[in-house]
Amino acid sequence: MRAQCCICSDLFENSDTVNIAAAPCGHTFHEVCLMKWLESSGTCPSCRKVCKRSLVIKKLFFDIDAGDDVSDQSPTKLSNQLGDLKAKVRQYERDKADLLEKQTSFQSQIQSYQVESEIVQNKLKKEKTLNTSLKKEISNYEAQQKYFKTEQEQYRKSLRNLKELQHLQILLSGRLQRFDSLEILNQNGEGSTKQLSRYCAVLKREYEQTKQDKKTFKDQIDKLRRELVSKDRQLTDRIKETSILTEQLTRSEEDLKNVEKEKEGMRKKLSRLKKGFHSP
């Protein structure tokens, strides 16, 4: 039998498993092909005449001559099998092309993720280096703050000593006035007055030395005061810089955490892509 179904293009074969149906117009098709066609169309596939499912003859019977080859190796059946095999080969070729395309896409994605992973690792390395540098700077500024506080304490101590010297100067000034009075008495006085005069002379020399020490000490106090003002300004600047560095360190640590998360996400994506690439 050399007739064929115009829907699937397969030749008709005399088989108990494949029914050949006829439309009301007389055209023949495989029953399965015709019924599937009528699900979306109400006309004959060949002549386009109206065709209803209820009018379809679902199975035709043919009388085959004894001389016809009805074995499994008939040309009609072999031709249909060959067509099926060719269709499968074409499908396999399409599947192969799709798999090769997916493989190329996966390889490209893997390379892209590897590049991104290297970028993330370099960024992580830079963030760690910056983090370490900021911690060192903060440590140095804290040490400077401690030194400035020590200088402030020394300045306060010097101020207290200066006040004590000023008080001593007042006392010595009173003694000096009394000494001047004693010098007047010494011109007309007795021997005991001379001894007292010598004592007062020594006291006067001590007073002069104290005045000189006071002047020197005052110069040192002024110098310390100027240094303290400068140190205070530097301390204020260092405190501001330390605050800024602390904020930068906090942001850097947050960036470091985000980079770690991003790196972990990239590692998981890369792992999933590799698994998908190696899976059948």
Output the CA–CA distances (angstroms, integers) from residue 6 to 30, 118, 246, in the order listed: 9, 60, 82
**Delimiting residues of CATH 3.30.40.10 domain(s) in the chain:** 1-70
Instruction: Give the global pTM.
Output: 0.36
Handedness of CA 263, 264, 265, 271 (dihedral sign): positive
pLDDT at residue number 183: 54
pLDDT at residue number 214: 74
Report, as an integer, the average pLDDT of 16-39: 90
More confident residue, 169 or 181: 169
Confidence class for position 190, pLDDT limits 50, 70, 90: low
**Which stretch of DSSP H or E encloses residue 271?**
helix 191-278
Confidence class for position 157, pLDDT limits 50, 70, 90: confident
| C-alpha–C-alpha distance, residues 121 and 23, integer Å | 71
Mean residue pLDDT of the chain comes to 77
Hey, what CATH topology would domain 1-70 get?
A: Herpes Virus-1 (3.30.40)
φ/ψ bin of 43: left (φ > 0), alpha (ψ from -120 to 50), beta (otherwise): beta
More confident residue, 180 or 32: 32
pLDDT at residue number 2: 64
pLDDT at 93 over 60: yes
φ/ψ bin of 56: left (φ > 0), alpha (ψ from -120 to 50), beta (otherwise): beta
pLDDT at residue number 159: 77
Confidence class for position 245, pLDDT limits 50, 70, 90: confident
Determine whether domain 118-278 maps to CATH 1.10.287. yes
Report, as an integer, the average pLDDT of 171-189: 55
**Delimiting residues of CATH 1.10.287 domain(s) in the chain:** 118-278
Burial class (CB in 10 A: 0-12, 13-18, 19+), 51: buried
